[in-house]
Amino acid sequence: MAPPEDRPRSDAATSPAGPLPSPAGPLAGLDAAAVAARQAAGLVNILDRRTSRPVWQIARSHLFTVFNLILGLCGATLVVLGRWLDLMFLAAAAANIAIGFAQELQAKRRLDRLAVLVRSPVRVIRDGAPVEVAPDQVVMDDVVLLARGDQIPVDGTVLGAEELDVDESMLTGESAPVSKAAGASVSSGSSVVAGRGSIRVTALGAGSRAERLTAEARRFTQVASELRQALARVVRWISVAIVPMIAVVLNGQLQAAGGWGAAFASGAWRDALVAAVASVTIMVPQGLALLTTVSFAVAALRLARGQVLVEELAAVEVLARVDVLCFDKTGTLTEGGIHVEDAIPVHGPAGPVPGWDRALAWIGADPDANPTAAALAERFSAPPDRAPSRVIPFSSARRWSAVQFDGGEANGAWLLGAPEALLGQDPSAGPARRAAGDAAERGLRTVVLCRADRLPADGALPAQVRPAVVLALRERLRPDAADTLAYFRDQGVGLKVVSGDSPRTVAAAARAAGMDAAEPVDGRTLPEDPAGLADALERHSVFGRVGPEQKEAMVHALQARGHVVAMTGDGVNDALALKAADLGIAMGTAAPATKAVARLVLLDGRFSRLPAVVAEGRRVIANIERVSQLFLTKTVYAFVLGISFGALAWAFPFLPRQLSTSDFLMLGFPASVLALAPNARRYVPGFLRRAVIAALPSGLAMAAAILGVYAYGRWATEASQEQIEAAAFFTLTVSGLWVLVIAARPLTGWRLLLVGSMYAGTVAVLTVPASLQYHQLEDPGTQLTVAAFAFAAGACAAIEAAHRLLRRRLRARPRGRRPR
């Protein structure tokens, strides 16, 4: 992004109707005609508060998916046929739509509220007189008046300045105020911390720097969740195969009813259509998507109790996969404030200068003290016995402030500021310069307090000043920073400090937190090409003087090397990087814009909350991998059964209501329990591949058993269709529960109780008269029951053998190292 002074202003001087009236003079401002002309030309400070996705588009994206279309058509078919009791399969789909829509709608509303700028009244000069106007009434070329405490609402050029100091940390990350003189540029989103001035508007509305940052951050994007991406891949696989499958299944069921003509003549097409619906709906693993969403939601509730706000549910998974953690210094490593690390009195020929501690106490207690001076109050609390006769406030231009006392313990003039500004080349100040240099080498900020007899009337620096004390200041390190960084190092996560502050200051904070900061890098020297930038990031860990766009580029460079990147921060200068990262984490004291784009917010600002997020992410990933084998097994046997029964023109042996019950026993209830259980297994990439490999033999074995028992009942017995369906239901559920046994291992007491209760439920379905009536099943008889036991036992044995073989191969295969 170009700085304000480099941006073209092709639309600032002309309008559709012709040239705009020019300002009357440097400080005369615009007259009513000039303001009206600019308003007519649209050169007004109006901001767009919309996100890129309206509500109707959000609703469409969640409603009109391939799965929802298929399930919706199946449901509509059953409604038309009057089969209301067979609609239970729609419950999971409806819940998933509702949760997904509510989540994204909440994100849209949060992003719509996003603003970098505080919408306070703005003082401008109109017709030669200062007036207050609303921010959206500021126009191009307006003269805006600035005073201490104001946030600058537009980009502009300074016309006049009286010791004007601007805090640009919200946009740049640089913690030190910047002095602005006439002709300098200022950016919207900055704040005036000292002095006053006036600026001419050069960019506003959507063209201002703050609004461009806001617009970029406001774009809605989803967190890169491996679980969600894996589910999307499964959706694509099934979507490709399910349309021809529908044709095969429907034709097979009508052929089983005697052919198309006979089926329509006799009315048997209704039962055939219901069976086709059953065979199609069983292929869709909508329960896995719902269970993933619910697992994320439960994890978010658990984290909320620990003061971690999850802005997007899938974020709880991502931190468990992160292998590079980037973080800003201020607000993450440090608390933002500073404290006096050391006070080193300077002894001259006459000994120490008396009264310096009293002078520092008054400077620290001054209500108008800047943050550096205010930090003195914690250590120096005994002010002089009289009020000062004169005060010169701090200015970034001269880099010192002064206070004068006439008499008393602190008699004389006291000047506090940068050593190079106050000490000059005075040979007698050598000890003070050496003390300041030693402190600076340790990464500490240094200021010096000097004494003079009196302050000159013109406010200039006195001709003779004597250094009294050198103060070494350090930013407050968060007490939990060192332990948290040590935790991530132990987990194999690379650490990168990326700050807008000076490299030496950043390195000092990093070293205090236990990092190796031997070679801090100045961001202004980094290469612009992504490959060179990535190489620098691989070699170094501490970076200073890094701008907002550069932080974003660094995140992209790491991602291009295969890293999963998390970024923490608290300033608007971090917002773009937080949005670009795989996981953005904002501190509780962060700017509203930063919190709005973050996926996690540490409400109490404690860095030590992140290990708990890692633990929740691991639990979710490991448990979803555990239960995904169950759902994918169902998809495998559903496809095999659909193709087989369609090709053989056999009546499908299940009704939708029967499959809803078997899903509840094999999948729904036990999977929901297992998905919420504790699990501390570390993240291992590639869970979908492992789940598919495990599901294939299980699904094939179950499908073979069901086909076997159906063929036996059809050809070897005189059983009715309802009896064959009962035997098939028993075979399906018992063999499917063995997949649950494998997924639930190790079989602790509560897991044995869970599996046992599901087996008991299967027996109840097949023996309780009311259940048999609801499910339209009949007692299969002794011969078919024995056959069902045999086929189910064979399927269980095949599933167990395949599981043991896969485990041995997985253990024998060397694990690849995660990218670093």
Number of Cβ within 10 Å of residue 454's Cβ equals 12
Residue 449 in contact with residue 391, Cβ under 8 Å?
no
Annotate 457-490 with DSSP letters as a single string. TT-PPPS--EEEEEEEEEEEEPTTHHHHHHHHHH
Longest dimension (CA), the chain: 120
Quote the CA–CA distance of 772 and 726 in Å, as a whole number: 9
Q: At residue 619, what is the residue type?
A: R
Quote the CA–CA distance of 573 and 619 in Å, as a whole number: 33
- In the numeric block, the tokens 């109780």 are attached to 753
Quote the CA–CA distance of 715 and 595 in Å, as a whole number: 67
Report the Cα 224 to chain-centroid distance in Å: 10
Give the phi and the psi of residue 415 in degrees, each rounded to 5. Answer: -120, 130
Quote the CA–CA distance of 437 and 120 in Å, as a whole number: 43
Catalytic site includes residue 328: yes
The residue among 710, 711, 762, 754 whose CA lies nearest residue 736 is: 762
Quickly list H helices, 306-355: 315-318
Q: 260: part of which helix (H) or strand (E)?
A: helix 260-266
Distances (CA, A) of 615 to 79, 495, 582, 612, 681: 45, 19, 18, 5, 9
Which member of 86, 142, 155, 328 is catalytic?
A: 328
β-strand pairing of 521-522 with 18-19? unpaired
β-strand pairing of 542-544 with 583-587? unpaired
In the chain, what is the straight-line distance between the N-terminal and C-terminal CA atoms, in Å? 30
Annotate 124-183 with DSSP letters as a single string. EEETTEEEEE-GGG-BTT-EEEEETTPBP-SEEEEEEEEEEEEE-HHHH---S-EEE-TT
- For the chain, what's the residue count? 820
Quote the CA–CA distance of 327 and 495 in Å, as a whole number: 8
Q: Is the dihedral of CA 753, 754, 758, 761 positive or negative?
A: positive
Quickly list H helices, 341-418: 356-365, 371-374
Residue 734 in contact with residue 742, Cβ under 8 Å?
no
Active-site residue list: 328
